[in-house]
Chains A and B, each alone.
Chain A
Amino acid sequence: MIDKRVKNAEEAVRDIPSGATLLMGGFGLCGIPENCIAAIEKTDVKDLTIVSNNAGVDDFGIGLLLQKKKVKKMISSYVGENAEFERQLLSGELEVDLIPQGTLAERVRAGGAGIPAFFTPAGVGTEVAEGKETRDFEGKTYLMEEWLRGDFSCVKAWKGDYAGNLIFKGTARNFNPMMAAAGKICIAEVEELVPPGELEPNQIHTPGIYVQRIFQGENYEKRIEQKTITKKA
């Protein structure tokens, strides 16, 4: 077993340099690496390129890094919940690359899996296809998309062990497994960190080989964006 443990989020993110490309797990605010984001917010790092499906909300998630002007570019599929994001985009402070969600997931998956490019039907005939190679297969047109990789990735899991094996919970899995594999250095924060042997090997979602650093996070807020309930009958 290779012990990947680090003390805390501050130690885990300490060597992320300015200008780095950072991959982040999460969908909306679900399954985001809250502790890593809070730790990065406290550093002097800036000019980050962040690859994440969403950009958080004004005062939580990646929104915190936007407020501190740490982000040069966002690569995302949907950014509709963040007014500070909108302001920075319209004023030209922030570059944004919007790409289809499945293409984003697959580009990152391809990055972690060593596949430099692939063909997808998503975006054919749209703005997304501009300047990209297309090719026909069995009478249908597909678009070539390239892999996405990061200098670092930050992911959040439910449980993990010292070796970096991860288990996710509910829909908090989302982009986390792909981000883990596509980051040169993957930092995993988990709600519960256990010794090797505690996790059932058949149930592990992300093998520890993809994870370089792991720590048990604290004070998870797990903010809900759209609390929607059924009234009891």
Chain B
Amino acid sequence: MLTKDQIAQRIAREVENRQHINLGIGIPTLVANYIPDELDVVLQSENGLLGIGPFPTEDKVDPDLINAGKQTITITKGSVLFSSAESFAMIRGGHVDLTILGAMEVSENGDIANWKIPGKMVKGMGGAMDLVASAENIIVAMQHCSRSGSSKLLKECTLPITGIRCVKKIVTDLAFLEIHPDGGFVLKERAPGVTVEEIREKTEGKLIVNGNIPEMKF
């Protein structure tokens, strides 16, 4: 089973040189720690910044510089600040190359649910609906099963969805999977020590297994 950091680490291997990337709150934020130094990438924060730097040292904390998770941040050389309208223009306009976000459920056709649990508190979708409706390349970081053990990789989402047919890749604590264009979770890699059988058992949606499935290396 992968730790949250290992999920982030595995996702970071999907990052390509010269990409503009939007990282969601939670595990996706950790991905920034594992992007290789030799790649030139720019991180976008939808509250109006391209070029997110590391968290500040105590003496550099600036309340006027936060990321979309409201954490204090710094800016990098060559960064640019802009309004929320400009920010979502670049998102909807397809200028952001990669979106990495968390999910509560993903369906085998790439639908994602991550904003609402009816009957419980509704926090709102923030920028997630705009991001998933617009990005060509969406990677989801999530747990394979809920705390009670039920699969979160489903035939159809049971929770209110955030976007339809948009997820391309998924990294869970058990596996790295891709969404097949005709539907289905294509198993690409197993987490260390996890068997194909266990993944099959814990995937409610259609699992596609072709040949030998390699184990992830860290």
Contacts and interface: CB of A to CB of B under 8 A. Distances in A.
Contacts of A168: 81
Interface in A57-91: 76-81, 86, 89
Contacts of B66: 27-28, 30, 171, 224-226
B55 A222 contact: no
Contact of A105 (B49, B88, B134): B88
Given A101-B127, A105-B84, A229 B64 contact: no
A172 B123 CA distance: 22
Contacts of A101: 46, 84, 88, 125-127, 129-130
A122 B69 contact: no
Contacts of A223: 63
Contacts of A175: 83-84
A206 to B, nearest CB: 9
A101 B87 CA distance: 10
Interface residues of A, number: 58
A178 interface: yes
B70 A28 contact: yes
Contact of A125 (B47, B125, B126, B164): B164
Interface string B57-92: 110011111111111110100000111110111011
A228 to B, nearest CB: 4
Interface stretch (B143-151, B155-163, B184-192, B210-218): B155-163
A229 B88 contact: no
Interface residues of B, number: 53
Contact of A100 (B55, B73, B123, B127): B127
Interface string B168-193: 00000000000000000000000000
A159 interface: no
A30 B127 contact: no
B56 interface: yes
A225 B73 CA distance: 12
Interface string A198-233: 000000010000000000000000111111111110
B36 interface: no
Contacts of A39: none
Interface in A28-51: 28-31
Given A173-B81, A228-B72, A102 B47 contact: no
Contact of B129 (A29, A100, A105, A158): A100
Contact of B48 (A78, A126, A171): A171
Contacts of A81: 70
Interface of B: 45-49, 54-58, 61-73, 75, 81-85, 87-89, 91-92, 111, 116, 121-130, 133-134, 160-164
11 contacts: A100-B127, A102-B87, A105-B83, A105-B85, A120-B92, A121-B92, A122-B133, A125-B164, A170-B62, A224-B61, A224-B63
